[in-house]
Amino acid sequence: MGDEESIDLLSLNELKNVVQKVVTEIHKVIVGMDDAIEALIIALLTEGHVLMEGVPGLAKTYLAKYFARTLNLSFSRIQITSDLLPSDITGSLVYDRATGQFVFRKGPIFANIVLADEINRGPPRTQSALLEVMQERQVTVEGVSYEVPRPFMVIATQNPIELEGTFPLPEAQLDRFLVRVIVTHPERDQEIEVLKMKQLSGEEPDLRPVVEEELVLRGITAISSIRVDDSIMEYIVDIVRKTRQMPEVYLGASTRAEVALMYAAKAKAAISGCPYVTPDHVKSVAPLVLNHRVILRSRRKGPFTSWSEFELIRRTLEEVDVPI
């Protein structure tokens, strides 16, 4: 796939080891959820955002909180409700009696990892304000811009079952999320392990940071060194274009999806210790990156509530020629 001498292999090996440490530490408090944990790591390294979908009680909030704690990053949780205002998320100007001036008081969006719990319960105006910060990575008030900290990642959750009183995210806003993860009920032995874990450590387990912020930023920089051969780029484009041609699809994935798929594949290669992207890396992340970016004809008037999108992406991968 090209000359590997220009790649800092030691840096990639270090990144791979760090990721393994993070996963091991998280599994001290989270049972299973391997796909969700890897999706969070990939999104963090590519400075993307994650949409986690699942019924209540599956530890989505716990995972986000302990993910941030393991990385020693600041964490903020925003409980999205129908009466939440954009300023409740971004912050607002308040009057300072001491100085006689208005000063900007930062909202909960100013954290490294932000959990937007039940994002589909927020009104469209509030959703738009959150997604604007996700895209621009800054808040602008009265012509003054305030940058959010780096690294910065939003983890949004939504319940696919309760639809009353919710505001489903439009397609253009769904496209802002790098990946969408479906969280399902664990296996029987995993649920037993959860009970044993809770009996020993309760609701606040002893979880220690295994990474510092500086190392996370180095990991983000390391992703840029991952090589993507022209044949792999063509493969990515062919996959996305194929989604637009499937008869079951009302709306296929966009060009932004191709960029997201390339970035995610680079991160997958990096955490695997590989200095270049292979077709297997692309195949591994494609279902996570593309499932929320296609609209099936059967879903045109309904929510994303089943595995149909994932099945379609997997069938798409089977029908696209793999580069040699």
Architecture of domain 226-324: Orthogonal Bundle (1.10)
Is 1-224 in CATH node 3.40.50.1220?
no
Question: What's residue 4's pLDDT?
Answer: 43
Question: What's residue 186's pLDDT?
Answer: 87
Question: What's residue 23's pLDDT?
Answer: 93
What gap in Å lies between CA 204 and CA 198, rounded to an integer?
Answer: 9
Question: What's residue 6's pLDDT?
Answer: 42
Write down the mean pLDDT value for the chain: 87
pLDDT confidence band for 164 (50 / 70 / 90): low
Tokens of residue 311, six digits: 């099945």
Whether the upstream peptide bond of residue 170 has omega within 30° of 0, thus cis, is no
Tokens of residue 253, six digits: 């994935």
pLDDT (tens digit, 9 = 90+) per residue, 70-103? 999 999 999 999 999 999 999 988 888 888 888 8
What gap in Å lies between CA 46 and CA 40, rounded to an integer?
Answer: 10
Question: What's residue 262's pLDDT?
Answer: 97
Bridge partner residues of 75 (DSSP): 113
Burial class (CB in 10 A: 0-12, 13-18, 19+), 15: buried
pLDDT confidence band for 276 (50 / 70 / 90): very high
What gap in Å lies between CA 303 and CA 73, rounded to an integer?
Answer: 33
Bridge partner residues of 93 (DSSP): 104
For residue 256, the SS3 value is helix
What gap in Å lies between CA 199 and CA 308, rounded to an integer?
Answer: 37
For residue 186, the SS3 value is coil
pLDDT (tens digit, 9 = 90+) per residue, 175-227? 889 999 999 888 999 899 889 888 877 667 777 888 888 889 989 988 988 99
Residue type, 88: D
Domain boundaries, the chain: 1-224, 226-324
